[in-house]
Amino acid sequence: MLIALDAMGGDYAPTINIEGALDTVNEQNDINVILVGNEPLIRQELRGKRFDPDRLRIRHASQVIEMHDAPSAAIRKKKDSSIRIGIDLVKAGEADAFVSAGHSGVVMATSLLLLGTSQGVDRPAIATLMPTLKEPFILLDVGANVDCKPENLLQFGLMGNTYCKLVLGRSEPKVALLSIGEEDSKGNELTKEAFKLLKNTSLNFIGNVEGKDLFTGKADVILCDGFIGNIALKVSEGLAEAILKMLKQEITSGSAGRLGYLMLKPAFRNFKKRTDYDEYGGAPLLGINGASIISHGRSTSKAIKNALRVAEDFSRKRVYEAIAQAIVSTPATSPVGH
Amino acid sequence: MLIALDAMGGDYAPTINIEGALDTVNEQNDINVILVGNEPLIRQELRGKRFDPDRLRIRHASQVIEMHDAPSAAIRKKKDSSIRIGIDLVKAGEADAFVSAGHSGVVMATSLLLLGTSQGVDRPAIATLMPTLKEPFILLDVGANVDCKPENLLQFGLMGNTYCKLVLGRSEPKVALLSIGEEDSKGNELTKEAFKLLKNTSLNFIGNVEGKDLFTGKADVILCDGFIGNIALKVSEGLAEAILKMLKQEITSGSAGRLGYLMLKPAFRNFKKRTDYDEYGGAPLLGINGASIISHGRSTSKAIKNALRVAEDFSRKRVYEAIAQAIVSTPATSPVGH
């Protein structure tokens, strides 16, 4: 399996991207990597590092998409960006998957432009894994589509269900809609319509779940539009950080507290591991006809390594083909938009 | 100041509601309470308790709104409910404010029906205080209106700003829109339009904030539609609970951990106090022409006590009149909806 990695995307690029790639090829026999980006810079980072040059290659890209670039202009003007070249490699069959921690809007739009959607898919979605008190669940869409139609949420359900079965290995995923009450009468216009559509599929649709149920493990796949999903995800990240900060403040401000804190360090470490987004690494674009994986902008080398693993798994299991099959065989979803 | 309290609403009613009322009249000289609900039941709860009967009175209501009642049917059929009678007392001038931990949809709809909106207000909003690493901020709407127009978000801005000035005493509140990126080009159709409207007011509008910024104290007032607000609020509550559970699991599973946990109990207690929704107590309905305060369904007696305090403050400062003034003097908001 050969994966193209955007060496230039993310807050700590290229250093940690290259570190993640090195760790991957040195530790895992089934993943080879093409580093896409500024070749001199990449060579410099690799200097003195031990690796098999057959398994870690470089493809030069002269341009970098910056986080403040507008997607449409970036795609038009930066035709030699690491994102464009990386996705082109997948399109040409020279790589099996693409991973980037860069500008997610540009990765999304370029993937759509070059790879297109899986058959029958109206709009792709970004699917992310989130931790709960039990097993993680899949939340989608977390930012690809800010204004959705009910039919889009239905397709997100079919796509998330397929992904959950193939990648998390759950045989009959519980699929739910994120709303503001459990009854089907609760919600906004979008979710009330989507509820009716989801009820009439072969999905194991368990109805609405509320924000407070996100972390109790009630559902395997939770559906929402990309605006809500992004806010739910970011609120969670922000709050988890704030809570740890507040607790540390409280703990270290007491005298017994400081000693207690030292004793508790292992517990805090375990807790961090359980809630750490790095552990999940990559959020695949579901509905794209190929494997294109978005990694968090603040990705560490561990996150990059995990994203490469997600990409390998996604590509090997041909999730995008299974998604096309699920969409095409569900009559209500085709055609979409009327 | 005389406040009507729904004795029957909330998960632990009537016991804790009555406890909260007793504590209030026994500890605070400026608040008298009318307990509204099933009189025999209330008398039974009050048996043996010490209080001044001039300061804690009872008004009988033969019906109770249940959480599963549909608002429209409940309002039509239960004309003698504790919610209806309580708000009627405010309408008749027999009470200065109403507080309920019961069905928030019914409190909202009944307040709208009996008290109406403040002059110029199109849709009322539920405003809640949320904790941050620094000072708490006001989030609105958290559930009154699930489908909003841009003009509604503008009015929420004016209402939240007024509330923040009068009740939190901040002289020039920083007002922000909850969105998925800081630039004004980021958001969904609703927030992009609302951004333009908010920019052209005298508000200290600081632009968009993201979900991750909710708890950093960037803004004093954060605006969103009631669907998003409800989800952001519930996600926060759910995650805070889950994090504490996970941490306790991790801490008590180690041997040094158990001792450390005992030493840290004061820190955990302080932390809980800082993030405890009970501390904030009541969420006022902004835009209603009168003081109607919603308390959390899981309210404890402390939460009820704090909600009565919020009601007293809200009524004494005549926030609803100041809101009418703010709305009427901002041209773009009137008329709304076109």
Residue A337: its pLDDT value, please? 44
Of the candidates A133, A214, A235, the beta carbon closest to that of B211 is on A235
Residues 6+ apart with CB under 8 A from A145: A123, A125, A152, A225, A226
What token pair was written down for B205? 């509008």
Q: In this predicted complex, what is the ipTM?
A: 0.87
Contacts of residue A248 in chain B, CB cutoff 8 Å?
Answer: none
Check CB contact of B227 with chain A, cutoff 8 Å.
yes
CB A289 within 8 A of CB A116: yes
Nearest alpha-carbon partner for B318 in B169, B171, B168, B163: B163
- Chain B: residue whose CA lies nearest to A147: B188
Which whole-number Å values give the CA distances from B69 to A42, A110, A182, B77, B134, in the listed order?
A: 64, 49, 13, 10, 39
CB B130 within 8 A of CB B331: no
Q: Phi/psi of residue B112, each to 5°?
A: -65, -45
Check CB contact of A236 with chain B, cutoff 8 Å.
yes
Residue B335: its pLDDT value, please? 47
- Chain B: residue whose CA lies nearest to A258: B264
Residue B279: its pLDDT value, please? 67
Q: How many CB pairs under 8 A join A and B?
A: 191
| Residue where the block lists tokens 């901020």 | B137
Closest-CA distance, A269 to chain B, in angstroms, reads 9
Beta strands in A1-151 (DSSP E): 2-6, 32-37, 56-60, 97-100, 125-130, 137-140
Which whole-number Å values give the CA distances from B264 to A211, A258, B52, B252, in the listed order?
A: 29, 9, 41, 12
Least confidently predicted of A35-49, A95-109, A264-278, B112-126: A264-278
Task: Assess whether pLDDT exceeds 80 at residue B267.
Answer: no
Rounded Cα gap, residues A31 and B203, in angstroms: 55
| Residue where the block lists tokens 């009137």 | B334
Of the candidates B214, B253, B271, the beta carbon closest to that of A235 is on B214
Average pLDDT for B19-24: 97
Contact: A236, B232; criterion CB under 8 Å: no
- Chain B: residue whose CA lies nearest to A186: B146
* ∠ Cα B127 B133 B138 (to 5°): 10
- Residues of chain A numbered 277-316 and touching chain B (CB < 8 Å): none
Closest-CA distance, A297 to chain B, in angstroms, reads 14
User: Residue B297 corresponds to which amino acid?
Assistant: G
Three-state secondary structure readout of B232-282: HHHHHHHHHHHHHHHHHHHHHHCHHHHHHHHHHHHHHHHHHHHHCHHHCCE
CB A174 within 8 A of CB B59: no
Beta strands in chain A (DSSP E): 2-6, 32-37, 56-60, 97-100, 125-130, 137-140, 174-178, 204-209, 221-223, 282-286, 292-295
| Residue where the block lists tokens 């007696």 | B301
Check CB contact of B132 with chain A, cutoff 8 Å.
yes
Which whole-number Å values give the CA distances from A132 to A214, A217, A275, B64, B295, in the listed order?
A: 7, 6, 8, 36, 28
Least confidently predicted of A9-18, A46-55, A98-107, A124-133: A124-133
DSSP 3-state assignment of B177?
A: strand
Query: In this structure, are strands B292-295 and A204-209 parallel, antiparallel, or unpaired?
Result: unpaired
Residue B78: its pLDDT value, please? 96
Average pLDDT for B105-123: 95
Contact: B234, A211; criterion CB under 8 Å: yes
Bridge partners of B239, per DSSP, are: none
Contact: B239, A210; criterion CB under 8 Å: no
Q: Phi/psi of residue B125, each to 5°?
A: -140, 150
How deeply is B175 buried, as exposed, middle or buried, from its count of CB atoms within 10 A (0-12, 13-18, 19+)?
A: buried
Check CB contact of A250 with chain B, cutoff 8 Å.
yes
Across the beta sheet with B56-60, the strand order is B56-60, B32-37, B2-6, B97-100, B292-295, B282-286, B125-130, B137-140, B221-223, B174-178, B204-209
Nearest alpha-carbon partner for A35 in A18, A23, A54, A47: A18
Check CB contact of A261 with chain B, cutoff 8 Å.
yes
Residue A248: its pLDDT value, please? 75
| Residue where the block lists tokens 């704030």 | A242
Check CB contact of B256 with chain A, cutoff 8 Å.
yes
Contacts of residue B258 in chain A, CB cutoff 8 Å?
Answer: none
Average pLDDT for A12-29: 95
Rounded Cα gap, residues A54 and A232, in angstroms: 42
Count other C-beta atoms under 10 Å from residue B31's C-beta. 20
Check CB contact of B43 with chain A, cutoff 8 Å.
no
- Chain B: residue whose CA lies nearest to A260: B260
How deeply is B255 buried, as exposed, middle or buried, from its count of CB atoms within 10 A (0-12, 13-18, 19+)?
A: exposed
pTM score, two decimals?
Answer: 0.90
Q: What is the DSSP annotation of A283-320?
A: EEEETBSS-EEEE-TT--HHHHHHHHHHHHHHHHTTHH
Least confidently predicted of B67-76, B206-215, B248-257: B248-257
Q: How confident is the model at residue A335 (pLDDT cuts 50, 70, 90)?
A: very low
How deeply is B148 buried, as exposed, middle or buried, from its count of CB atoms within 10 A (0-12, 13-18, 19+)?
A: buried
- Chain A: residue whose CA lies nearest to B254: A267
Average pLDDT for B316-335: 86
* B33 sits in which H/E element: strand B32-37
Q: Which residue has the higher pLDDT, B251 or A298?
A: A298
Rounded Cα gap, residues A35 and A151, in angstroms: 38
Task: Assess whether pLDDT exceeds 70 at residue A279.
Answer: no
Which of A243, A272, A279 to mutate: most B Cβ within 10 Å? A243
Percent of chain B with pLDDT over 90: 74
Q: How far is CA B137 from the centre of its chain?
A: 12
Contact: A246, B70; criterion CB under 8 Å: no
Task: Assess whether pLDDT exceeds 70 at residue B337.
Answer: no
Rounded Cα gap, residues A196 and A203, in angstroms: 13
Average pLDDT for B49-73: 94
CB A139 within 8 A of CB A157: no
Domains of chain B: 1-121+287-319 (3.40.718.10), 126-277 (3.40.718.10)
Contact: A212, B237; criterion CB under 8 Å: yes
Which whole-number Å values give the CA distances from B99 to B4, B17, B136, B234, B309, in the listed order?
A: 6, 10, 22, 21, 10
Of the candidates B232, B245, B267, the beta carbon closest to that of A247 is on B267
Tell me the pLDDT tens digit for each residue of A246-256.
Answer: 777 777 776 55
Rounded Cα gap, residues A116 and A87, in angstroms: 11
Residues 6+ apart with CB under 8 A from A284: A126, A127, A163, A291, A292, A293, A294, A310, A311, A314, A319
* A113 sits in which H/E element: helix A104-115
Contacts of residue A242 in chain B, CB cutoff 8 Å?
Answer: 132-133, 215-216
* B119 sits in which H/E element: none
Percent of chain B with pLDDT over 70: 91
Task: Assess whether pLDDT exceeds 60 at residue B31.
Answer: yes
Contacts of residue A179 in chain B, CB cutoff 8 Å?
Answer: 227
Tell me the pLDDT tens digit for each residue of B138-160.
Answer: 999 998 999 999 999 999 999 99
Q: How far is CA B293 from the centre of its chain?
A: 6
Check CB contact of A73 with chain B, cutoff 8 Å.
no
Nearest alpha-carbon partner for A268 in B238, B261, B131: B261
Residue A257: its pLDDT value, please? 61
Of the candidates A238, A264, A274, the beta carbon closest to that of B246 is on A274
Q: Where do the H-state alpha helices sit in A254-286?
A: 255-275
CB A208 within 8 A of CB A128: no
Tell me the pLDDT tens digit for each residue of B168-210.
Answer: 999 999 999 999 988 888 899 999 999 999 999 999 999 999 9
Which of A212, A262, A276 to mutate: most B Cβ within 10 Å? A212
Residue B1: its pLDDT value, please? 95
What token pair was written down for B31? 């608040």
Contacts of residue A232 in chain B, CB cutoff 8 Å?
Answer: 211, 231-232, 235
Tell me the pLDDT tens digit for each residue of A189-247.
Answer: 999 999 999 999 999 999 999 999 998 999 999 999 999 999 999 999 888 888 877 77
Nearest alpha-carbon partner for A209 in A229, A226, A187, A234: A187
Average pLDDT for B309-321: 96
CB B260 within 8 A of CB A264: yes
* B58 sits in which H/E element: strand B56-60
Average pLDDT for B82-97: 98
Contact: B214, A238; criterion CB under 8 Å: yes
Contacts of residue A247 in chain B, CB cutoff 8 Å?
Answer: 247, 267-268, 271
Q: How confident is the model at residue B296 (pLDDT cuts 50, 70, 90)?
A: confident
Q: Which residue has the higher pLDDT, B50 or A251?
A: B50
Contact: A189, B238; criterion CB under 8 Å: no
Average pLDDT, chain B: 91
DSSP 3-state assignment of B11?
A: coil
